[in-house]
Amino acid sequence: MTTTRRGIEKEAAVGTVIQTHPHSYNDDKSHEDRPPRWDRTRRAQLFEQYRDLQAQGFSLRQAAKALDVPRSTLQAWRAYQERLDEHPAVVAFLHRAPGLAFLHRLVLGRHLVCTAVGACGIRLVCLLLPLTGLERFVAASYGAQHQINCQREAGIVAYRPEESARLATDMPAQDITVAQDDTYTGGRCLVAVAPKSHSLLLEPAAPARDHDTWHALMPQALAGLHCRRIPSTSDAAPGLLAYVAHHLGAHHAPDVFHGQHELVKAVSGPLATTQRAAVKTATAAQERLAHVQGHLQGADNAPDNKRGAGRPPTAPTSLEPVTQTAPAATQALERISAQREPVAQSLRAMGHAYHFVDLARGVRRHGTLIAADIRAQMETIRTVAQQENLSQTCLARMEQAERGVPKMQATIEVVSGYVRQQIAQRGLPPPVSYAMPAHLIPSC
């Protein structure tokens, strides 16, 4: 879920999260659990009023009585600001309400970026505060910053339902597509995302991933949203397919990634393994050839020594087997490298083919043409697999990827029908109603 600046300001408005003892590095645990008597925002407002009264000639005792604050407390606030090792203008700004609000947003923004968006952790936030001089105004201990981070997490969790309810009231009725999957981050979690808006609709922990569990959770996630129709995009998990067919009543659009992934595991992976082995073989053959050539050259330049008694004559080193092995290994490496390139091109071409519009020419494409293009790319990959004598397991993976092509074709037909339906609802005259799907929408 994306947290905007409004969300950060909302977190700051939840309550005072900056500790009241900013110069302490080793705060006592019992002291952290005791709530402060004076909220920092209220304290900043009272001290600003005290400065105004002091400018009018009020004494400390008179100002304390007018503000209904103990004189010793007001005196301690003044002494604390006077002993801060910082420019007086900076101290005055950060101890007024606008400066304190700015300090809240700054600290919360660091926690959001470092611990939620990034993976720095709270200890690096604690390190950053002394480096910027803010430890004079904010407690830099781990315990104090951990409290702030907990409130930041609570603010994000509370922000989602509140913001979703607010946006749902003004949401126009529309058709949305839902991308669904399950993941395992500390337990099984069912995820549903609206790809167009990048909104995370569903992310609960779930005991199972069958169609009944999806059916129980999705209505809760979509409650209050004005959705008229929900096509679903996902992998071919049986639970998701059953949910879309029996409960959702929508079209299931296969993701092109899963078909490509099966082909990568079926062909690209084995070819890469073969290529790595060919590289080692060619390198070893070249090194052997260089070694033998160097040995022969040294033998030619060495003086003839007489053979000792009883020792057989030294057999001449043969260069012919090595000179045949090295070129053969190099040719095998070049061949397997050349085989991988058309496979990679076909995989990329499948991603471009599975689209309602030809993005290069700006014209509409039909499901039959798209299916033919995808099958042509798969046939190229199959030819390479047969030439390399890949295993039956690899060929079975290719067949699994091919089984998704009819659903891809059906998805394009559904998109085409949906576009025609939307145009028909607008009651456009025939020339415009023809130009919209044929030229205007593809060109956009």
User: Is there a contact between 358 and 369 (Cβ–Cβ < 8 Å)?
Assistant: no
Structure tokens at 312: 């057989």
Residues in the chain where the model's pLDDT stays below 50: 1-17, 19-30, 32, 315-316
End-to-end CA distance of the chain: 29
Question: Strand pairing partners for 180?
Answer: 192
Q: Using CA atoms, how far apart are residues 107 and 124, in angstroms rounded to an integer?
A: 13
Which residues are CB-neighbours of 312 under 8 A, at least 6 positions away? Answer: none
Dump pLDDT digits (tens) for 12-64. Answer: 333 344 544 444 434 444 454 556 677 788 888 888 888 889 889 999 889 88
Tokens 């494409």 appear where?
Answer: 365
82-139 residue pLDDT tens: 888 888 888 888 888 888 889 989 999 999 999 888 888 899 999 999 998 888 888 8
Report the alpha-carbon distance of residue 248 to residue 228 in Å, rounded.
Answer: 11
> Which pLDDT does position 16 carry in this prediction?
46
**β-strands 199-202, 188-194: how paired?**
antiparallel
The runs of H, that is alpha helices, within 245-268 are 256-263
Residue 418's alpha-carbon distances to 176, 229, 367, in angstroms, are 12, 11, 14
- Say what percent of the chain tops pLDDT 70: 86
- Quick one: how far is CA 238 from the chain centroid? 26
